[in-house]
């Protein structure tokens, strides 16, 4: 495969400082929309991935780290579901389509809860960045078709494995019916993205209020992560008095599904749900409200982002 030349700049969206935008207000005048994203994933047995002990990740097989991750699908996911439901949140599941075949009981649970599903690639053992165009198109379509067959609904949202994209990912996703993507973590509000056809929006996701980097990269304690979630919410809530904000809470059952971490997740969600003027929403609900009430206020409208 020939080397792809990445341009110095992209033309997907314009710079838009949040202080220059018209005020955004959520339903019933809420200050902040909070969406919670459980990542339900599958990892191949023969490939290195998220590791509690990185020094063993190159082993074949790496039983220690594989089994540690596998706790999420067997146990952690159920504890996480109970906590999310307890406090009235609605999950937007970032779903590897391999989960549909490997862990069908999880798909049954998502359906019973009526949570939203967004595509998250085939599995978490391969990245879109390294695929040629034909392979990427095939991977995206297989992901969406597999989820639609298993869950009965084709996803509208997308989170790439490891937030990885190629130069054409956004265009392929839009062609495939995806209208919002969580890979671009650069704002507290949704915004339109230029694509060749169809429409696309960025929705605020996070590498900060996210248990993966918190525990595996920044080595935070469970208590510190719970405090982080509450602090992030409190400041965004105050900011929301001027213009509405979005807070993403990004979770992985092999991390926050462990009891000693789940304890502090429970406390943080209780804190957030107890406040007034807060919308507990799915990703699609946030995007639909944004399109209906704010999309026309942006300083540009391209043919690809026509809201008429």
| Per-residue pLDDT at 296 | 58
| Residues ≥6 apart with Cβ < 8 Å to 87 | 266, 269, 270, 272, 273
In a domain, residue 3? The reply is: no
Confirm whether 14 is domain-assigned: no
Tracing tokens 């809470």 back to the chain, one arrives at 249
Verify cis geometry, omega within 30 degrees of 0, for the bond prior to 61: yes
Structural domain total, the chain:
1
Contact 129, 166 (CB under 8 A): yes
With tokens 């018209």, the residue in question is 22
- What pLDDT is recorded for position 299? 43
Strand 191-193 relative to strand 200-202: parallel, antiparallel, unpaired? antiparallel
Residue 61 lies inside a defined structural domain of this protein: no
Per residue in 125-167, pLDDT tens?
Answer: 888 888 999 999 999 999 999 999 999 999 999 999 999 999 9
Buried b (16+ CB within 10 A) or exposed e, 172-183: bbbbbebbbbbb
What's the pLDDT at 295? 53
Helices (H), 198-307: 211-212, 222-239, 259-273, 283-293
Which DSSP symbol is given to 299? S
H-run or E-run covering 247: strand 245-251
pLDDT at position 54: 80
Residue 307, pLDDT score: 36
In CATH, what number is assigned to the domain containing residue 243? 3.20.20.370
Tell me whether residue 4 is in a domain.
Answer: no
Give the structural domain span for 254.
32-44+72-305
Which pLDDT score, from 0 to 100, does residue 306 have? Answer: 44
Provide the Cα torsion 8, 14, 18, 19; round to 10°. Answer: 110
Residue 255 and residue 261 in contact, taking contact as beta carbons nearer than 8 Å:
yes
**Helical (H) or strand (E) element with 36:** strand 32-40
Flag whether 224 is in a domain.
yes
Give the whole-angstrom CA distance, residue 95 versus residue 104: 12
* pLDDT at res. 5: 87
What residues of the chain score a pLDDT lower than 50? Answer: 1, 298-308
The rounded distance, in Å, linking the Cα atoms of 44 and 66 is: 8
pLDDT tens digits, 246-280: 999 999 999 999 999 999 999 999 999 999 999 99
From residue 292, how far is each of 63, 118, 170 by CA, in Å? 49, 21, 22
Residue 129 DSSP label? G
- The SS3 assignment for 140 reads helix
62, part of any domain: no
* 26 assigned to some structural domain: no
Strand partners, 35: 248, 281
Closest CA to 202 of 192, 215, 212: 192
What rounded mean pLDDT belongs to the chain? 92
User: What angle is formed at CA 155 by the lines to CA 47 and CA 30, rounded to 5 degrees?
Assistant: 110
Q: Say what the pLDDT of residue 263 is.
A: 98
Quick check: is 278 in a domain? Answer: yes
Q: Quick one: which of 89, 75, 113, 78 has its CA closest to 269?
A: 89
Dihedral of CA atoms 110, 249, 298, 173 in degrees, nearest 10, equals -50
Which pTM was predicted? 0.93
What is the biggest distance separating any 2 CA atoms in the chain, rounded to whole angstroms? Answer: 55
């Amino acid at each position: 495969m020939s080397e792809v030349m990445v341009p110095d700049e992209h033309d997907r969206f314009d710079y838009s400082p949040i202080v220059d935008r018209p005020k955004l207000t959520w339903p019933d005048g809420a200050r902040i929309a909070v969406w919670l994203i459980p990542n339900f994933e599958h990892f191949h047995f023969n490939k290195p991935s998220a590791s509690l002990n990185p020094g063993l990740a190159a082993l074949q097989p790496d039983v220690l780290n594989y089994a540690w991750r596998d706790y999420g699908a067997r146990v952690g996911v159920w504890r996480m579901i109970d906590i999310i439901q307890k406090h009235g949140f609605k999950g937007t599941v970032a779903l590897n389509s391999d989960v549909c075949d490997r862990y069908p009981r999880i798909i049954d649970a998502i359906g019973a809860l009526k949570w939203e599903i967004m595509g998250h690639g085939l599995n978490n053992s391969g990245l879109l960045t390294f695929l040629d165009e034909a392979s990427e198109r095939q991977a995206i379509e297989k992901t969406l078709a597999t989820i639609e067959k298993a869950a009965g609904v084709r996803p509208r949202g997308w989170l790439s494995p490891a937030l990885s994209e190629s130069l054409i990912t956004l265009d392929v996703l839009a062609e495939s019916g995806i209208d919002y993507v969580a890979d671009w973590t650069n704002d507290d509000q949704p915004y339109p993205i230029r694509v060749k056809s169809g429409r696309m929006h960025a929705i605020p996701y996070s590498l900060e209020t996210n248990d993966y980097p918190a525990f595996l990269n920044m080595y935070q304690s469970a208590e510190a992560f719970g405090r982080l979630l509450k602090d992030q919410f409190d400041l965004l809530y105050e900011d929301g008095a001027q213009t509405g904000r979005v807070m993403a809470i990004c979770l992985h059952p092999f991390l926050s599904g462990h009891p000693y971490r789940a304890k502090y997740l429970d406390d943080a969600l209780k804190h957030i749900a107890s406040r007034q003027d807060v919308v507990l929403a799915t990703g699609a609900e946030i995007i639909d409200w944004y399109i209906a009430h704010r999309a026309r206020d942006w300083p540009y409208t391209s043919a690809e982002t026509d809201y008429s």
